[in-house]
Structure 1
Amino acid sequence: MPTPDLPRRRGLLAALLLTLAAFALLPSAASAASDVPNGKPLYQDGPSGRILMNGPWLFRLDQQEVGLSQHFQQQTSTAGWTGVKVPNAWNATDESLASFQGSVGWYRKDFRLPSGDKNLSWVVRFESVNYRSRVWLNGRPIGSNRGAYLPFEVRLPASVLKRNGTNRLVIRVENHRFAYDFPPAGLSIAGAPTGGWWNYGGLLREVYLRKVDRLDFSTVVVRPDLPCATCTASVLVRATVRNAGPGSVRARVTGHFGDKKLDLGTTVVPAGAFRTVGETIKVGSPKLWAPGSPNLYDVELDAAARPQGAGRAKTLQTYHLKSGIRSIKVVDGHLMLNGRQLNFRGVGMHEDDPKLGFAITNAIRDREVAEIRDLGATMVRSHYPLHPYTLEQFDRYGILDWSEIPVYSVKTDELKKKIVRQLAANELAENIHTNGNHPSIVVWSIGNELSSRPGAVQGSYISQAVRTAHTLDPSRPVGLAVAGYPAAGCQDEYGPLDVLGINEYFGWYPGPNGQVADRTALSSYLDSVHACYPNKGLVITETGAEANRDGPVEEKGTYAYQQDFVNYHFGVYATKPWLSGAIYWALEEFRVRPGWQGGNPRPNPPIHQKGLISFAGVKKPAWYDVQRIFKATQQLRARARHAGA
């Protein structure tokens, strides 16, 4: 047999080595030995001491739900576990009905602490876990959570934590969704799956290990108040600190807002207790934050332990954020930013990727922000709170955010349960606590497409939620997005709201009894909404048409139809000077649910194809129409007569 030539033999050897090297880089159970987390945070705002829990993780799917009976949380062997990277959506590429309906997965991280110092305590922060989670450390239960899209933290008990050995963190995640969840999911009367977007399971955003040296910032509030566009601003700076140490600490909180020094005060914090300190400062001739001029102020707070004698205080933790001075309010039925009328043009957004599902990276977030800016949009709406890095980018680039909690299409029979309304209000409060320092957020939205004919049940929820939001943050208006139908009429239950968002699809969906089938009825319908609510800020929160193919303009689902749709609808909006803005739904395509049609006679389930950019990343022809419309629109108008800031 002829001997292969030397170059070919070398080529085969090189290919083999490259293949082996590639496998070596993949996470595996064998390589999941304990490590010391050392990753940098993926976003800037927040306390010092955050360490990204990078490196190898372990995962195992538990479709039969035997993990608890077989004590997965106590296993020390890696048998049965597979190496993964976190963030992770275990069903990122599985578009089956079983995937959408949910399952149970287990995550495990074997790690060693970066320091064995006995004076330190440790916290694990989960940025988003979908949906129900239980947490163990070294086989002992230490916490649980329900919900997604907002972070939760678990303290690592000193009695369980190994300071100089390997710790085993285990999280059981269940992503079955029910009619009372946010968002709800289940089966329709006909047995079809229901739900607003794909039900990804897992540790969908990153996980951090937080080092705490006695004092820990629990919450930080930086809230500017701008009486008028040329007025001196007042800025409330308030911090709540917790003492995680064994004895009382005399704590002093100082820092700066821009070039102004802050001294929030000194307070004695007993072990395990919380104390709040604060200060209000004046900022003359402030540099205002707005689209086109997103001026930001650097804010830093230091929590120090101050001795009783003459010794120097020791800084134990620092909190950093960027703040923007601006006012947002409704005046005479119009949203006003710094005393100027908003007439924004924006897009909806869902975090989704063909390969990663919801567990996207900052590089993908940067791409989305670049697309938003290129489109000429100044507003973004999602059905849930976005990743903190995305919000920081909105702050940086002057992009407004309609911040909504996922109280999406919750049926009245579920909403009438007091516990469901309370959980929804709690979700709103947590969103405000978590994201309230971002100047880009201009509306707190309490939900989307509840019944368009609200009764006492929804009225009770609206009143409770608006009261909660105004109490926690009196500086921003509160809104709700509703499905727009002419027969809905005027609703007294919307009275407490500052802003009403209208989801309108005239000429796309037929609506109840064909009410919205004729697009020429759009103009008169919008006038009727304005007549019902002349003193509320009115916004188009959704509109759009599916498009996935070439074809005639008369045929739904074609690129030409989508182009004609956006030109007609945004043309109507331009004739309504009382509108405060309009949002196209959505920027990019995303997965919805098995069997999704979206009004398209030739759909591609489960993909929502109203997006201006396909799931593969290709801009559709309508992108350029929307871009032209958005860039030609004056989105921040001159100060209206008699309108305040």
Structure 2
Amino acid sequence: MSCRLRVLIAAILVLPALLAPPTAGADTPTPRTLYADGAEGRRLMGGEWLFRLDKEDAGLKQRFQRQAGREGWTPVQVPHAWNVGDDSPESMAGSTAWYRKDFSLPSAAAALSWAVRFESVNYRSQVWLNGRAVGSHKGAYLPFEFTLAGVKRRGTNRLVIRVDSRRRPTDFPPSGLTVVGGPTGGWWNYGGLIREVYLRRIDRLDFAQVRVTPNLPCATCNATVKVKARLRNVSGRGVTARVTGRFGARRFSLGTVSLGPGGVTARETSIRVRSPRLWSPTAPNLYPVSLSASAGGRKLAGYKLKSGVRSVKISQDGLLLLNGRRVNLRGVGLHEDSKEQGFAVDNALREKLVDDAKELGASMIRTHYPMHPYTHELADRKGLLIWSEIPVYAVKTRYLAKRTVRAQAARELAKNIETFANHPSVMIWSIANELSSRPGPVQSYYIKRAAAQAKRLDPTRPVGLAVAGYPSAGCQPEYAPLDVVGINEYFGWYPGANGSLFDRKGLSPFLDQVRACYPKKAVIVTEFGAEANREGPVEEKGTYAYQREYVNFNLATFATKPWLSGALYWALNEFRVRPGWDGGNPRPNPPIHQKGLTAYGTFARKPAFADAQASFRATDQLGGGVAPVARRSASGG
């Protein structure tokens, strides 16, 4: 056979592969987002993903990141939590798994850079593009991005993510064992890509960060709004662009920026807003904000968000003020959890939770981790304040003493503030939940450093901490750096190792003790609640009647404390906690946490919902009058 003939035959054999359609499941991500605020150019990576559980953790050795075939992979939709419905201890402890997505770029993608954005992966992740490592990340509930070097302009790209949900005692939240050897945790450890993934287009210049900060000296004053943008040049050549924007109907300019390859710069300006329409839960007025960077008549980058003008301060006598008026908030904790989806919930579920909270009469919501951006947007639009907490949850002293643990907490606190500071609904930055009720040098060091960090990054909001409310804890000077002390109290429900909580008569004097300990700090009851899953007599714990009476007693007690800045019931909805959970209920239904006012899966309202609703609606939460004392800023000691 001649050489020419052999070449011709080889070409014929290769031709079908060259002309073959993209791998099944490959698509072009659509220019759609599940929330509005943020950089332009985001494309939702929906459609079919492939998933592979890796319980033996053999995927790296077997090079799953380079596998070509589909054998062993299952089609799924992302967001996705792989252990929904598995109530076993092994499910709670976590595992490893892999996700794979084939995609192509839009046809007009030449000369553009691209990044992949993950809204939340639980917990550790490694990312590959076309078989090459892109980056790794640790921590859930906050977004992260990687620039995609080597992305194919034409043809099919393959994105692969290894997810490791196995928690360690040094993680947030930490792992651990109960007294009977089961896994601990305050909510279920759902592994996976639990929030959506985006492909993001970048045309040379990128808005790396945008901060819009209103300053309202008094409720009837004109406002000043500071707009600060950090821009970076992601291209390999210099770029000069003009940066402009709008706040409501007002136009502004951030001037002209000139950046070399990889260069970064920050620009800011201030805008005077006369007679601003203030944001509050009763009148959630929002101003549209947009920024644009253009060169040669072409728009390179854009950023949009909604802003609200309002002030949050603490009075000299420890009252929380919104727009200069004392508040007496009522609200609920919640979890973005569903029976069918786990933490990989959709926007319909988020809307349901927010609507239920509003119908209850709540003015504040809280959970133990940063909520989805769409939940923040709903809170902005519908008028709900947010106690925004990072998942530094019941971290033991010996682990909090580690520098690496505190460094991870600092990263999460900074990212939370960077991500959500533009939302007027965010009222308080919380640095932890239930550290030791008798803080020593380790907790003192953490509280001091974390509070200072939060105030440095955002001096316009108070900093808080939720603590376990034990009568014998006494006054803690370690809380001096805080603006707000949150009290998790379960008087009349749990017996407490550090002082009996079983007798509910201790609640009122305990609250008075807290006030005496911290007379210049705002105090919010951040948790109170009782499990309920059945009919029965009022004196029997776990019955609907007991829960009703418990709710009414606590709310009536709070009403006698005019200095209290708020009280949040734990929780609005039932959710999965951990294997063996009883929550103080003599007839529990593990792993379901049943203190919720609505039932797991159905969201049916328990009788106590109506009791809480009546009390919440009868409370003057936002009309407490202008404080008669001199006011200080949120960071004012």
TM over 0.5: yes
Distance 1:528 1:79 in 2: 64
Map of 1:42 onto structure 2: 34
Aligned AA (1:620):
K
Distance 1:186 1:511 in 2: 20
Map of 2:625 onto structure 1: 638
1:548 aligns with 2:533: yes
CA-to-aligned-CA distance 1:60-100 (integer Å, 9 cap, x gap): 00001110000000011111111000000001111111111
1:348 to 323, 327, 333: 333
2:355 to 370, 394, 411: 370
CA gap of 1:286–1:639, structure 2 versus 1, over 3 A, is same
Aligned AA (1:407):
V
Deviation at 1:484, TM superposition (A): 0.3
The 5-angstrom pairing of residues 467-616 of structure 1 reads 467-512=452-497, 514-615=499-600, 616=602
Aligned AA (1:132):
R
Map of 1:321 onto structure 2: 305
Deviation at 1:402, TM superposition (A): 0.3
> Could you tell me whether the CA contact under 8 Å between 2:318 and 2:519 is conserved in 1?
yes
Aligned AA (2:490):
Y
CA-to-aligned-CA distance 1:376-409 (integer Å, 9 cap, x gap): 1010001000000010010001100000000000
Gaps of 5+ in 1: 1-29, 306-311
Aligned AA (1:337):
L
1:119 aligns with 2:103: no
Distance 2:410 2:501 in 1: 32
> Could you tell me whether the CA contact under 8 Å between 1:265 and 1:278 is conserved in 2?
no
Distance 1:117 1:340 in 2: 52
SS of aligned partner of 1:203: coil
Map of 1:59 onto structure 2: 51
Distance 2:251 2:239 in 1: 23
Map of 1:618 onto structure 2: 604
CA-to-aligned-CA distance 1:215-254 (integer Å, 9 cap, x gap): 1110000000111111111111000011111111112211
Map of 1:5 onto structure 2: none
Larger mean Cα displacement after TM superposition, 248-257 or 441-450 = 248-257
Distance 1:189 1:603 in 2: 18
Deviation at 1:32, TM superposition (A): 4.1
Deviation at 1:513, TM superposition (A): 5.2
Aligned AA (1:321):
L
The 5-angstrom pairing of residues 281-300 of structure 1 reads 281-300=271-290
Map of 1:82 onto structure 2: 74
SS of aligned partner of 1:148: coil
1:183 to 173, 177, 188: 173
Map of 2:145 onto structure 1: 153
The 5-angstrom pairing of residues 207-356 of structure 1 reads 207-305=197-295, 312-331=296-315, 332-356=317-341
Deviation at 1:317, TM superposition (A): 1.1
1:139 aligns with 2:125: no
SS of aligned partner of 1:534: coil
CA-to-aligned-CA distance 1:538-562 (integer Å, 9 cap, x gap): 0000000000000000000000000
> Could you tell me whether the CA contact under 8 Å between 1:150 and 1:431 is conserved in 2?
yes
> Could you tell me whether the CA contact under 8 Å between 1:444 and 1:476 is conserved in 2?
yes
Deviation at 1:39, TM superposition (A): 5.0
In the TM superposition, structure 1's runs of 4+ consecutive aligned residues that sit over 2 Å from their partners are 30-33, 115-118, 642-645
> Could you tell me whether the CA contact under 8 Å between 1:477 and 1:499 is conserved in 2?
yes
Deviation at 1:114, TM superposition (A): 1.2
Deviation at 1:643, TM superposition (A): 4.5
Distance 1:153 1:399 in 2: 29
Deviation at 1:441, TM superposition (A): 0.2
CA gap of 1:265–1:353, structure 2 versus 1, over 3 A, is same
Aligned AA (1:466):
A
The 5-angstrom pairing of residues 387-402 of structure 1 reads 387-402=372-387
Deviation at 1:118, TM superposition (A): 3.0
> Could you tell me whether the CA contact under 8 Å between 1:32 and 1:83 is conserved in 2?
no
Deviation at 1:570, TM superposition (A): 0.5
SS of aligned partner of 1:487: helix
Distance 1:474 1:514 in 2: 36
Aligned AA (2:618):
A
1:71 aligns with 2:63: yes
Map of 1:7 onto structure 2: none
CA gap of 1:82–1:141, structure 2 versus 1, over 3 A, is same
1:91 aligns with 2:83: yes
SS of aligned partner of 2:243: strand
Distance 1:644 1:452 in 2: 30
CA gap of 1:469–1:514, structure 2 versus 1, over 3 A, is closer
Map of 2:16 onto structure 1: none
Map of 1:428 onto structure 2: 413
Aligned AA (2:57):
E
> Could you tell me whether the CA contact under 8 Å between 1:135 and 1:169 is conserved in 2?
yes
CA-to-aligned-CA distance 1:2-42 (integer Å, 9 cap, x gap): xxxxxxxxxxxxxxxxxxxxxxxxxxxx9943111115100
> Could you tell me whether the CA contact under 8 Å between 1:205 and 1:359 is conserved in 2?
yes
Distance 2:240 2:528 in 1: 55
1:628 aligns with 2:614: yes
Deviation at 1:329, TM superposition (A): 1.1
Gaps of 5+ in 2: 1-21, 633-637
SS of aligned partner of 1:186: coil
Distance 2:518 2:433 in 1: 18
> Could you tell me whether the CA contact under 8 Å between 1:31 and 1:56 is conserved in 2?
no
The 5-angstrom pairing of residues 189-204 of structure 1 reads 189-204=179-194
Larger mean Cα displacement after TM superposition, 340-349 or 418-427 = 418-427
Aligned AA (2:614):
R
CA-to-aligned-CA distance 1:271-292 (integer Å, 9 cap, x gap): 1121101101111111100011
Aligned AA (1:411):
K
Distance 2:255 2:394 in 1: 45
SS of aligned partner of 2:288: strand
SS of aligned partner of 1:528: helix
SS of aligned partner of 2:486: strand
Aligned AA (2:606):
K
> Could you tell me whether the CA contact under 8 Å between 2:28 and 2:105 is conserved in 1?
yes
Map of 1:12 onto structure 2: none
Aligned AA (1:418):
R
Distance 1:564 1:643 in 2: 39
> Could you tell me whether the CA contact under 8 Å between 1:86 and 1:206 is conserved in 2?
yes
2:99 to 107, 110, 120: 107
Q: Percent identity?
A: 61
Aligned length: 608
For normalisation by structure 2, the TM-score amounts to 0.94
Map of 1:6 onto structure 2: none
Distance 2:90 2:108 in 1: 44
Map of 1:447 onto structure 2: 432
